[in-house]
Amino acid sequence: MKLYYKPGACSLAPHIVAREAGVAIDLVPVDLARKEMQDGGDYTAVNPNGYVPALDIGEGPVLTEASVVVQYIADAGPQSGLMPPAGETARYRAQQWLAFVATELHKGFSPFFKPNTPEATKTAQREHLTRRLGFLDAALADRTYLMGETFTAPDAYAFTVLRWAPAAGLDVSTFPNVARFMAAVSARPAVKAALAEEGIA
């Protein structure tokens, strides 16, 4: 499997999941501004949407959408327990978290990385994210990770996007349970290794 990525971008989530699951992947860096790979190849020929993550699974077009890519990799290493088995209620709970991270958090942060986002939009997004961080903080009050005491794929995705809080002018330390979650995920050897490999440790 080949994972197209940019250091610190949302592609960090599938990278962490691969390391946690012991699934071998080749990392292919992408220059998102130029939509180019290091060999000068056109990235939009790989992913017409021009974004990461994209996973070459050896059949058909690349698999995209972080919330799905993490599931594919987790299922390639089922012994890791990074996604509960399909059909179990817990699988839907994990998918609920993945969808929450994708739509309520990830896309809430995106405007802060676009050069032409108006200040009023940023203010509105900051308020939105603050409300969602409050929800997350309450959800994490009695647990280490989103699904309980076991680290799962949604944790990798949530950790990845919450790392962007400073870029949005948000301080997660004002949400003590979220801060504890970030510390717990940061301390995991696979997470440290992924950050080091992306050069952002």
End-to-end CA distance of the chain: 24
Which residue in the set 10, 25, 153, 185 belongs to the binding site for ligand GSH (CB under 6 A)? Answer: 10
Residue 32 found at the interface with ligand GSH (CB under 6 A): yes
Closest to ligand GSH by CB, 51 or 145 = 51
Around 13, how many Cα atoms within 13 Å sit in the side-chain half-sphere? 32
Residue number with the smallest Cβ distance to ligand GSH: 51
Long-range CB contacts for residues 60-67, cutoff 8 Å, separation at least 24:
62/4, 65/102, 66/10, 66/11, 66/13, 66/14, 66/102, 66/106, 66/157, 67/95, 67/98, 67/99, 67/101, 67/102, 67/157
Q: Tokens 């960090």 label which residue?
A: 12
Pairing between strand 2-5 and 54-56?
Answer: antiparallel
| Residue of 4, 5, 43, 51 that binds ligand GSH (CB under 6 A) | 51
The verdict on 48 binding ligand GSH (CB under 6 A) reads no
Cα radius of gyration rounded to whole Å, the chain:
16
Q: Which among 18-26, 49-57, 132-140, 175-183 is the span making contact with ligand GSH, rule CB under 6 A?
A: 49-57
Q: Does 146 bind ligand GSH (CB under 6 A)?
A: no
Please identify, among the stretches 44-52, 85-93, 138-146, 167-175, the one whose residues bind ligand GSH according to the rule CB under 6 A.
44-52
Residue 173 CA to residue 155 CA, distance in Å, equals 18
x/- track of binding to ligand GSH for residues 102-141 (CB under 6 A): x-------x-------------------------------
Q: Which residues bind ligand GSH (CB under 6 A)?
A: 9-10, 32, 50-52, 65-66, 102, 110
